[in-house]
Structure 1
Amino acid sequence: MKEIQDIVAAYARHQEAGLQTALATVVKVEGSAYRRPGARMLVAEDGQLTGAISGGCLEGDALRKARLAMAQGKPTLVKYDTMDDDDAKLGVGLGCNGIIHILIEPLLPFLQVNQIALLQDLVQNRQTGVLVTLFSLQDRKGPQPGTCLLLKQDGALNRAGLGALLEDNLLQEARTALHTGVSTILDNLPPGNLTAFVEVVKPAIAVVICGAGNDVMPLVQMTHVLGWPTTVIDGRAAYATQARFPTAHQVLVAKPEAVLSQLTVDQHTVFLLFTHNYNYDLAMLRQLLPLSLPYIGVLGPKKKIDRLLTELRDEGHSLTPEFLKGLFGPTGLDIGAETPEEIALSVVAEIKKVLSQRRGTSLREKETPIHFPALEEAKR
């Protein structure tokens, strides 16, 4: 989502400057590649690039092809084959072992569906959405329909003028992807044997940090870099200030009982208790008990979390398996973290691991490809 956020912001700047732009999207990968389907890069006619479609080896050639697509005013599908000697001659050294298909769409003012508008819709509304991008592998020089449909979690639909049969098929596949949360590639769609990239796009992780001490500062800096909107809350007005946390989405002074009324909490929201105040943490946990949260991190030793849970039980609260599954105390991965910066790294890494449904092991220990879908990996 961070990449999409940056692209939407860059497009607005280029529009103000009167620059032509094109959107390059990785739509299909066969074998190994640095980026997977859904990776995007915005190209401006003056050479400015936002986002990435590779580790840096494709961007130069993609820039040239994007400028040609802008001049011609039509989308183009580009294929890069890491095993093709011609690519090596062109200086495209990918360092991988696969084939990458990239759709380049010039962003024209008369387009029926503006691709950036669809991306902006995803950024502004915290909903999971499904984007459908159509392209033709069979006829690369023929028409490339491009990004044509967005289905959001609330059922809202934005689409181009597709044929009735094709639209019905794509809508059904989009609903299935929305339900499973898994992106997919569909081949040989009529008419014209088109291919569809049905992409599930989830909102950015929203982070709520209770506690505004100095050790929270590097944590907020890291979440900002990741594009995770972050709220910092503390009961102490001298600590909870925007000046201390300039990159935070918002900074609030509030007692635990008044926190939730000032927030919008969804299934992609995580809470971190960094107050160093046992009573504040306990009161905050009471507020969070009824919510279905994927991650609640509590700073401090295991004895602290055990004491908190015991006190909650003694008060008569029911600690459901779902609540306990999402409770992480001590918070963070075991990477030997000591400094506030290292602790922030371990916490951010654990949040990403949990919400991505990964195991958090070293990549060299994986028996499956790096980008093997998490849901499929869990079945093994």
Structure 2
Amino acid sequence: MKELQEIVTAYHQHQKNGLKTALATVVHVEGSSYRRPGARMLVSEEGHLTGAISGGCLEGDALRKARLAMVQGTPSLVKYDTMDDDDSKLGVGLGCNGIIHILIEPIDPQDPNNPMFFLQHLVSQRRSGVLVTLFSLENRRGHQPGTCLFLTEDGVQMGSAPSVELNSKMLQHAQEALEQGASSFQTFPAEHELTGFIEYLPPSISLVVCGAGNDVMPLVHMAQILGWHTSVVDGRANYATPERFPSAQKVLISKPDQVLEQVQIDHRTAFLLMTHNYNYDLAMLRNLLTLHPPYIGVLGPKKKLERLLDELQETGTPLTEEQRKILYGPTGLDLGAETSEEIALSVLAEIKAVFSNRMGGYLRERQQSIHSGSVQDKPAALLS
């Protein structure tokens, strides 16, 4: 989500400067690649690049093709094949052993349904959304409809397909993506068969840190680099200050019983208890367990968490098995962390792993594709 935010910010600046722009999107991948479908890069006519569609090997050639698309005013689909000797001669040299399809769309600021308008709405609201992008793998040099439909979880719909029948099918798949929380590819019959990239886009992770000690400062800074929305809460007025946490979206001075009414909580919200105050953490934990957020991390040794749970049990708040599953204490991955910065890295890595439904192990020991589970690599009709 941070990359999309930066792309939207850059687009506004280019508009202010009167510059033409084009959006390059990875829409389809066969085999391995550095970036997966949904990776985007905004290109200005002066050659300014925001975002990335590869590890740096595609950007130069994509810039040239994006400038051509700006002049022609029509979307184009570009194919890069790492197994093609011609690509090596061009200096692309991907080294990923895959085929990458990039859709390049010139942006018409007068068109209210251009892809940047959809992205602006997405980043301005903390809501899950789905973008539907149509392209033809069968006829790469033909007409490419491009990004044409946007739907949010609260029912906001923008754009439409080239036909009523196609629009109905696209809308159905978009609603399914919202319900399942997953992207997919679909095929649609047309003169030249169209592939639809049904892209599910959740909001960024919202991190609520209870505690404003010095050890929280590097954690909030790292979360900001990741593009997460961060709130810092503490009962001590001399600790919970915007000056100490300039990268936090919210800094609150609050008692435990008043915290939850001051922060927005959804399916992408994680809580960290880092106050170093046992009674504050106990009160927060009691309140949080009734809400069942996806992640509650408790800083400190395992004995501390056991004591907290024992006291909750004794005071009439027994934990269910489901509630125990969302508790992480000691919080963080086993990285051998010692310093505040290392602990921050460990904790944020664990939160990312939990929200990605991963175990956080070594990639070299992973038997499946690194990106498996995020989106199918091929349209359903092409999987045979």
- Cα distance in 2 between the residues matched to 1:374 and 1:313: 39
Q: What number of residue pairs does the alignment pair up?
A: 376
Shift of 1:6: 0.9
Gaps of 5+ in 2: 377-384
**SS of residue in 1 equivalent to 2:361:** coil
Matched ranges for 1:170-185 at <5 A: 170-185=170-185
Q: Are 2:141 and 1:141 aligned?
A: yes
Q: Are 2:266 and 1:272 aligned?
A: no
Q: Are 2:262 and 1:262 aligned?
A: yes
For residues 191-229 of structure 1, give each alpha carbon's deviation from its aligned partner in whole angstroms, at most 9, with x where no partner exists: 531111011101000000011111001101110000001
| Contact map agreement 1:267 1:292 (CA 8 A) in 2 | no
Shift of 1:112: 4.5
- Cα distance in 2 between the residues matched to 1:201 and 1:95: 28
Shift of 1:179: 1.6
| Contact map agreement 1:166 1:190 (CA 8 A) in 2 | no
- Cα distance in 2 between the residues matched to 1:245 and 1:70: 42
| Contact map agreement 2:166 2:188 (CA 8 A) in 1 | no
For residues 132-188 of structure 1, give each alpha carbon's deviation from its aligned partner in whole angstroms, at most 9, with x where no partner exists: 000111222221111111111122211235311111111111122212222111234
- Aligned pair in 2 of structure 1 residues 374, 149: CA closer, same or farther (>3 Å)? closer
Match of 1:155 in 2: 155
Match of 1:296 in 2: 296
Match of 1:340 in 2: 340
Match of 2:187 in 1: 187
- Aligned pair in 2 of structure 1 residues 190, 227: CA closer, same or farther (>3 Å)? same
Match of 2:227 in 1: 227
**SS of residue in 1 equivalent to 2:11:** helix
Shift of 1:9: 1.0
- Cα distance in 1 between the residues matched to 2:366 and 2:96: 18
Matched ranges for 1:229-248 at <5 A: 229-248=229-248
Shift of 1:318: 3.4
Shift of 1:76: 0.7
Higher mean alpha-carbon deviation, 89-98 vs 183-192, is at 183-192
AA in 1 matched with 2:14: H
Match of 2:19 in 1: 19
Matched ranges for 1:322-337 at <5 A: 322-337=322-337
- Cα distance in 2 between the residues matched to 1:111 and 1:102: 22
Shift of 1:322: 2.3
| Contact map agreement 2:160 2:167 (CA 8 A) in 1 | no
Match of 1:209 in 2: 209
Shift of 1:375: 9.6
For residues 38-61 of structure 1, give each alpha carbon's deviation from its aligned partner in whole angstroms, at most 9, with x where no partner exists: 000011111111110000000000
**SS of residue in 2 equivalent to 1:369:** coil
AA in 1 matched with 2:68: L
Match of 1:249 in 2: 249
Identity of aligned residues (%): 63
- Cα distance in 1 between the residues matched to 2:227 and 2:178: 23
- Aligned pair in 2 of structure 1 residues 98, 375: CA closer, same or farther (>3 Å)? closer
AA in 1 matched with 2:8: V
Q: Are 2:28 and 1:61 aligned?
A: no
**SS of residue in 2 equivalent to 1:214:** coil
- Cα distance in 2 between the residues matched to 1:374 and 1:102: 18
Shift of 1:10: 1.0
For residues 332-359 of structure 1, give each alpha carbon's deviation from its aligned partner in whole angstroms, at most 9, with x where no partner exists: 0001000000000000000000000011
Shift of 1:374: 6.1
Shift of 1:324: 1.2
- Aligned pair in 2 of structure 1 residues 375, 111: CA closer, same or farther (>3 Å)? closer
- Aligned pair in 2 of structure 1 residues 358, 24: CA closer, same or farther (>3 Å)? same
TM-score (norm: length of structure 1) = 0.96
| Contact map agreement 1:313 1:319 (CA 8 A) in 2 | yes
Match of 2:379 in 1: none
For residues 117-139 of structure 1, give each alpha carbon's deviation from its aligned partner in whole angstroms, at most 9, with x where no partner exists: 21122212212111100011122
Shift of 1:111: 2.3
- Cα distance in 1 between the residues matched to 2:109 and 2:67: 16
Higher mean alpha-carbon deviation, 156-165 vs 52-61, is at 156-165
AA in 2 matched with 1:96: C
- Cα distance in 2 between the residues matched to 1:87 and 1:370: 25
**SS of residue in 2 equivalent to 1:133:** strand
Higher mean alpha-carbon deviation, 316-325 vs 286-295, is at 316-325
- Cα distance in 2 between the residues matched to 1:252 and 1:242: 9
- Aligned pair in 2 of structure 1 residues 110, 191: CA closer, same or farther (>3 Å)? farther
Match of 1:107 in 2: 107
Higher mean alpha-carbon deviation, 71-80 vs 137-146, is at 137-146
For the aligned residue pairs, the C-alpha RMSD in angstroms reads: 1.3
Match of 2:2 in 1: 2
**SS of residue in 2 equivalent to 1:147:** strand
- Aligned pair in 2 of structure 1 residues 375, 201: CA closer, same or farther (>3 Å)? closer
| Contact map agreement 2:184 2:375 (CA 8 A) in 1 | no
**SS of residue in 1 equivalent to 2:215:** helix
| Contact map agreement 1:185 1:198 (CA 8 A) in 2 | yes
AA in 1 matched with 2:322: E
| Contact map agreement 1:77 1:135 (CA 8 A) in 2 | yes
- Cα distance in 2 between the residues matched to 1:205 and 1:122: 14
Q: Which runs of 4+ in 1 moved over 4 A?
A: none
Match of 2:285 in 1: 285
- Aligned pair in 2 of structure 1 residues 353, 169: CA closer, same or farther (>3 Å)? same
